[in-house]
Amino acid sequence: MADEPIIKVHDLHKWYGNFHVLKGINMEVKRREVIVIFGPSGSGKSTFIRTINRLEEHQRGEILVDGIELSHDVRNIEQVRMETGMVFQQFNLFPHLTVMQNIVLAPIQVRKWEKKKAEEIAMQLLERVGIPDQAHKFPGQLSGGQQQRVAIARALAMQPKIMLFDEPTSALDPEMIKEVLDAMVELAKSGMTMLVVTHEMGFARAVADRMFFFDQGQIVESGTPEEIFKAPKEERTKLFLSQILSH
């Protein structure tokens, strides 16, 4: 059981109209693994991570999350979404709810927890991401970095087995990137299974178990951070790394 992959993706294809976005992706992710996905824009990396909780539908191939196959079956989709948390580039907090309400909404409505229990767990999570004092503010009153940490706490409140991060620091001002990355590093070290689309190579070096380089809808190269940074095999990987590491 422990070695059984928690995510299995086999020959995944997706089209937007006639545009072939994902061209046969294969990937297996073990429990407690931290995966970093990187690549040029338009390479399909965000689309890929969004197929794992079915925010995007795939047209061919199969995806198994914790043994549940993603198909048109709504119950399976709901099941998978309860097991996976997601953090977005634009935070996507609910602006009409306070930080606390943002976090407890899904546990109360989906997991059917008591309000009191949900709020206790929410406070613990806010302390974990370092902003317990902001619980009763509205998202609009927080900085970008604080909002993204709330988004992480909100996803964790559902006690997911997998966390998906879709470019979590790309919309942040430089001085706020670190506070979000710190929270993510802490999460990675606690043993969470994570799939992270990011260009933060420092983060990848520090906690990634494996890295996948996406280009034009395919996985061009994969390996441990050591292999990718020290000795990339493919020309495209070398070129891309030199571009993002040089600035």
Partner 1 sequence: MTEMNSVLPPLSERSNVLRWIRKNLFGSVLDSILTIIGVLIAYWVIKGFLTWALTTARWEVISANLRLILIGQYPLEQAARLWIGVAFLIFLGGNSIGIWARESRFSVALLLSPAILALLPFSSGPRTWLIVLSVTGLVGWWLGRSRPEVLRRSVIIGWVISLPIIILLTHGFTPVDSGGVLAIVKTNLWGGLLLTFLLTVVGILFSFPIGVLLALGRRSELPIIRLASVMYIELVRGVPLITILFMAQLMLPLFLPQGVTIDRVLRAMVGIVLFSAAYLAENVRGGLQAIPKGQFEAAHALGLGKAQTMIYIVLPQALRLVIPILVGQFIAVFKDTALVAIVGLLDLLGIAKTVLAQPKFLGLQREVYVFISLIYWVLSYGMSYLSQRLEERLGVGK
> Toward partner 1, which CB reaches closer, 80 or 211?
80
Q: Which residues contact 153 (CB under 8 A, 6 or more apart)?
A: 103, 122, 125, 126, 128, 129
Per DSSP, 2 falls in state: -
**Phi first, then psi: what are they for 121, rounded to 5°?**
-65, -40
Segment near partner 1 (CB under 8 A); pick from 6-14, 33-41, 148-156, 224-232 = 148-156
Strand stretches in 5-132, DSSP E = 7-16, 19-29, 34-38, 60-65, 68-69, 84-87
Asked if 81 is part of the footprint of partner 1 (rule: CB under 8 A), the reply reads: yes
User: In Å, what is the CA distance from 218 to each residue of 24, 47, 61, 114, 117?
Assistant: 7, 12, 14, 44, 44
Q: What is the rounded CA–CA span in Å between residue 215 and residue 16?
A: 17
> Toward partner 1, which CB reaches closer, 92 or 216?
92
Looking at 26, 59, 71, 109, which residue binds partner 1 (CB under 8 A)? Answer: 109
Find the helix or strand (DSSP H, E) in which 189 lies. Answer: helix 174-189
> Toward partner 1, which CB reaches closer, 111 or 233?
111
Asked if 58 is part of the footprint of partner 1 (rule: CB under 8 A), the reply reads: no
Asked if 136 is part of the footprint of partner 1 (rule: CB under 8 A), the reply reads: no
> Toward partner 1, which CB reaches closer, 136 or 189?
136
Instruction: State the minimum distance, in angstroms, from the CB of residue 225 to partner 1.
Output: 27
Segment near partner 1 (CB under 8 A); pick from 19-27, 106-114, 129-137, 167-175 = 106-114
Instruction: State the minimum distance, in angstroms, from the CB of residue 84 to partner 1.
Output: 8
Helices (H), ranges, 99-170:
99-109, 115-128, 144-157
Looking at 67, 95, 191, 202, which residue binds partner 1 (CB under 8 A)? Answer: 95
Structure tokens at 209: 């178990």
Asked if 245 is part of the footprint of partner 1 (rule: CB under 8 A), the reply reads: no
Segment near partner 1 (CB under 8 A); pick from 102-110, 168-176, 184-192, 213-221 = 102-110
Q: Which residue carries 């709330």 as its tokens?
A: 150
Segment near partner 1 (CB under 8 A); pick from 119-127, 142-150, 154-162, 239-247 = 154-162
Contact 204, 198 (CB under 8 A): yes
Residues of this chain that bind partner 1 (CB under 8 A)? 53, 55, 78, 81-82, 84-86, 88, 90, 92-96, 105-106, 109-110, 138, 140, 151, 154-155, 158
